[in-house]
């Protein structure tokens, strides 16, 4: 009898321990057919004698970034939780021909009443909040291109820890506050870890945001800085890139309105300031089992005295809670020296020529698990 009671007690204890921790496998597979017109021809001219050509084929991440990941949490008691998050991008068009890694996120965290602290590679806090203000969710040809690599950030391991567009950083410690009556904030510091006698800040990131959410209203302000970048267009060493972003949305139920105002500035030692002002207005509306999206953006590139206009229209139809089909049409109108291209993953090199426009179409399916 005693042995039976002891066995039951052991089973109960092990069951309780298992209930306090969990590990989840998750992911998204998003694959599409993409078409892009106005792509620069590397050879200079195509058969028709022009400097641009069309590209089409199977692409990826048109509505949401395809990914595969593992995340887990352990309840430590007293309101304290430990967690981990490992996530990498997958490419449905070629099966990750270049290999798989966890560069989207690889963090360990500690959370409680004080908020959350993360260690590792992650999206920078100044970017995380603003994804929701882009009606295309920062994916596909329709997305807002403010987080572009405007001046050619050279991304060799010796130069930088951050993505070229500045949306992720390695070697980072970040902190997210709890919600204080609608107010939240996030801060991040990415260690440089670069042996450079000429600039001890090489590869360093620092930034954060403050936000307020109350019912249908959401607003946020962020600032970040990446230090001592090595630029390639035109060449420059030791540039500090800082970005100031203001965004918001308001949900009227029948339509949701979004806006982003952003200034990106590269300060080049002994050189001129390279500045880009970007503006975005968007709207989305529920239609039956789907959603219609419309977005306009202006990119004022001061350093080259040129502008680009982008307009995007899309529709997502939900077949279930986890599966959707979608279609997006986008147009990028480059003026003067501007050569900003639409984002169509999976089509290879899709650079635009200076002053030329691009038109893109994506039709695909997205499944999450």
**pLDDT score of 257 more than 90:** yes
C-alpha span between 254 and 136 (Å, rounded)? 18
Tokens standing for 58?
A: 């199977």
Instruction: Report residue 99 as tokens.
Output: 């290999």
Q: Are 296 and 283 in contact (CB under 8 A)?
A: no
- Which pLDDT tens digit goes with each residue over 321-339? 999 999 999 999 999 999 9
- Residue 271 confidence (pLDDT): 72
C-alpha distances (whole Å) from 44 to each of 41, 50, 156, 333, 353 are 5, 8, 28, 20, 10
**DSSP states along 191-243:** ------SS-TTTT-EEEEEEEEEETTEEEEEEEEEEEEEEEETTEEEEEEEEE
Over residues 164-180, the pLDDT tens digits come to 778 999 999 999 999 99
- Mean pLDDT lowest for which of 11-15, 215-219, 220-224, 303-307? 11-15
The pLDDT of 283-291, averaged and rounded, is 97
- Predicted pLDDT of residue 15: 46
Q: Which residues pair with 210 in a beta bridge?
A: 185, 221
Interacting residues of 41 by C-beta distance below 8 A, sequence separation 6+ = 50, 51, 52, 53
Pick the CATH number of 25-368 from 2.60.40.10, 3.20.20.80, 2.40.160.10, 3.20.20.105: 2.40.160.10
Main-chain phi, psi angles of 342, to 5 degrees: -70, 160
CA distances from 360 to 57, 144, 327, 357 (A): 12, 14, 11, 10
Q: What percent of the chain has pLDDT over 70?
A: 84
Cα separation of 287 and 267, whole Å? 45
Which carries the bigger pLDDT value, residue 148 or residue 131? 131
Query: Which residues, other chains included, contact 333 with Cβ-Cβ below 8 Å and sequence gap of 6+?
Result: 308, 309, 310, 357
Between 274 and 62, whose confidence is greater? 62
pLDDT of residue 234: 64
If one compares 144 and 150, the residue with the highest pLDDT of the two is 144
Entry pTM: 0.88
pLDDT in tens, 124-141: 999 999 999 999 999 999
Q: Give 190's pLDDT tier (boundaries 50, 70, 90).
A: very high
- The string of pLDDT tens digits covering residues 205-242 is 999 999 999 999 999 999 999 886 766 666 666 778 89
SS3 18: helix
């Amino acid at each position: 009898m005693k042995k039976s009671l002891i066995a039951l007690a052991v089973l109960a204890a092990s069951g309780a321990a298992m209930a306090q921790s969990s590990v989840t496998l998750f992911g998204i597979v998003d694959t599409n057919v993409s078409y892009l017109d106005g792509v620069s021809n590397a050879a200079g001219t195509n058969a028709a004698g022009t400097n641009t050509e069309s590209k089409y084929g199977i692409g990826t991440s048109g509505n949401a970034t395809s990914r595969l990941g593992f995340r887990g949490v352990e309840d430590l008691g007293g309101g304290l939780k430990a967690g981990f998050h490992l996530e990498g991008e997958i490419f449905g068009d070629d099966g990750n021909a270049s290999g798989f890694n966890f560069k989207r996120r690889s963090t360990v965290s500690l959370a409680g009443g004080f908020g959350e602290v993360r260690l590792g590679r992650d999206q920078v806090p100044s970017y995380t909040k603003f994804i929701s203000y882009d009606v295309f969710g920062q994916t596909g040809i329709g997305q807002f291109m403010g987080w572009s690599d405007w001046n050619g950030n050279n991304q060799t391991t010796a130069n930088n820890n951050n993505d070229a567009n500045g949306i992720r950083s390695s070697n980072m410690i970040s902190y997210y506050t709890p919600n204080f009556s609608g107010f939240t904030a996030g801060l991040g510091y990415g260690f440089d870890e670069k042996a450079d006698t000429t600039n001890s800040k090489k590869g360093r990131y620092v930034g954060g945001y403050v936000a307020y959410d109350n019912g249908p209203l959401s607003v946020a302000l962020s600032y970040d800085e990446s230090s001592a970048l090595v630029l390639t267009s035109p060449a420059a060493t030791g540039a500090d890139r800082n970005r100031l972003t203001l965004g918001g949305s308001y949900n009227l139920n029948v339509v949701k309105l979004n806006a982003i105002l952003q200034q990106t500035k590269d300060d080049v030692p002994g050189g001129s300031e390279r500045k880009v002002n970007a503006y975005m207005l968007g709207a989305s509306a529920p239609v039956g089992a789907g959603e219609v999206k419309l977005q306009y953006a202006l990119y004022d590139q001061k350093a080259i005295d040129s502008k680009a206009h982008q307009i995007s229209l899309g529709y997502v139809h939900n077949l279930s809670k986890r599966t959707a089909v979608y279609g997006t049409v986008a147009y990028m109108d480059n003026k003067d020296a501007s050569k900003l291209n639409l984002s169509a993953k999976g089509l290879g090199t899709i650079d635009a020529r200076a002053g030329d426009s691009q038109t893109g179409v994506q039709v695909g399916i997205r499944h999450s698990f």
